[in-house]
Amino acid sequence: MSGHKVVLGGVAVAALLAAGTALAVDPPKMGRPAPADLVKLMDISIPPDGTGLPEGQATAKQGQTVFMERCAACHGERGEGKTNDRLAGGKGTLTEEVTVKTVGSYWPWATTLFDYIRRAMPYNTPLSLKDEEVYGTVAYVLFLNGIVGENDPINAQTLPKVQMPNRDGFINAWKEPAVATR
Ligand code: HEC
């Protein structure tokens, strides 16, 4: 009986080996190369240093109009929160018993606000804003938090220079140790 099992096992291994060899020589014809325009559409991540921020710009004043039409219903006209998250205020509350986490009190980078709004907001119609409209709403949210002026142009050059109040409030888990351990 046990001999019978061994024979079966041997056959299975032989079959696997044969399949492996066939794969190496002739891969299955599946999928297709990703078209460049599709890659461009999905390649929208903006890291903290702002690499890849698009052309265009807007001020908070310009962004206010977009915000009223596209954001205020959920976040309130001055980002005070409505059915959804509060976006402004709360500065200095992170060490209090009741913390108020907003873009102004919590977020360490302004650049990633562009990334977030462009890819995720408005919540019910994401990816529907033009780059200028994203810059405008970014500027308006930063303005509501007293971080930029009403008429400051927000663009690929100025946004990475914006200093967020909680910039130093995070510990970078990926930082190299100061002294090599090996
Ligand atoms: C239909 C309601 C709705 C609309 C409209 C909307 N949002 Fe939001 N927003 C949400 C919800 C819900 C969340 C929380 C999402 C989550 O945590 O996954 C959110 C989260 C956010 C956050 C992150 C807050 C934080 O600190 O975590 C920002 C910033 C933001 N929205 C900006 C905007 C902007 C700018 C617009 C307009 C372009 C907008 N939202 C339109 C519902 C909305």
pLDDT tens digits, residue range 80-104?
A: 999 999 999 999 999 999 999 999 9
Is 156 domain-assigned?
yes
pLDDT tens digits, residue range 4-24?
A: 454 545 455 555 555 555 556
Is 147 domain-assigned?
yes
Q: How far apart are the first and last CA of the chain?
A: 55
Please give the tally of structural domains in the chain.
1
Rounded (5°) CA angle 69-93-166: 75
Residue 118 near ligand 1, beta carbon < 6 Å? no
Is 58 domain-assigned?
yes
Is 76 domain-assigned?
yes
Is 25 domain-assigned?
no
Out of 46, 62, 74, mutate this one to test ligand 1's pocket (max ligand atoms within 8 Å of CB): namely 74
Q: Is the dihedral of CA 117, 120, 124, 127 positive or negative?
A: positive
Residue 137 near ligand 1, beta carbon < 6 Å? yes
Rounded (5°) CA angle 59-65-69: 140
User: Residue 124: which H helix or E strand, with range?
Assistant: none
Distance 21 CA to ligand 1 centre (A): 52
Q: Is 52 left (phi over 0), alpha (psi -120 to 50) or beta?
A: left
Residue 116 sits in a domain whose CATH number is 1.10.760.10
pLDDT tens digits, residue range 144-164?
A: 999 999 999 999 999 999 999
Distance 29 CA to ligand 1 centre (A): 42
Structural domain that includes position 83: 48-161
Is 11 domain-assigned?
no
Is 132 domain-assigned?
yes
Is 10 domain-assigned?
no
User: Residue 134: which H helix or E strand, with range?
Assistant: helix 131-144
Which atom number of ligand 1 is nearest to the Cα of residue 138?
35
Position 172, amino acid: N
User: Is 105 in contact with 124 (CB distance < 8 Å)?
Assistant: no
pTM metric for this prediction? 0.83
